[in-house]
Amino acid sequence: MAPCSAPLPPSCGKIAGWASAPSSGAASPLCPDLVIELASPSDEGPRGITALRHKMDLYQANGACLGWLLLPREHAAEIWRGDQQGMAERLNNNSRLDGSDLAEGLGLELEEIWTV
């Protein structure tokens, strides 16, 4: 099975905004509905993971509806929801993440990520 299943539906209603965003090459003022961060070996250690968590918090503060911070070395995922500012739910040893009502139909298989 492919690691990611189903496209992200426009559950937060901001997808249409991307079409009207300026294409000048500058950074977009829009924040994505869904953010997935994958920690790499260079992110290991307290400062690296802290920086990733800060980044997820910023996405949340700027309107992201759902964020997944994947920590392969720990076999853990942190779920950041837009309505829970500054908080994350930690899941250990899960084999799959689901988008729940925020991204219905979206799923991510984690087994392959944990074995890399």
Confidence of residue 84 (pLDDT cuts 50, 70, 90): confident
The stretch 8-32 carries a mean pLDDT of 58
d(CA 60, CA 35): 9
The stretch 57-75 carries a mean pLDDT of 92
State pTM to two decimals: 0.75
DSSP string, 28-50: PS---SEEEEE--GGG-SHHHHH
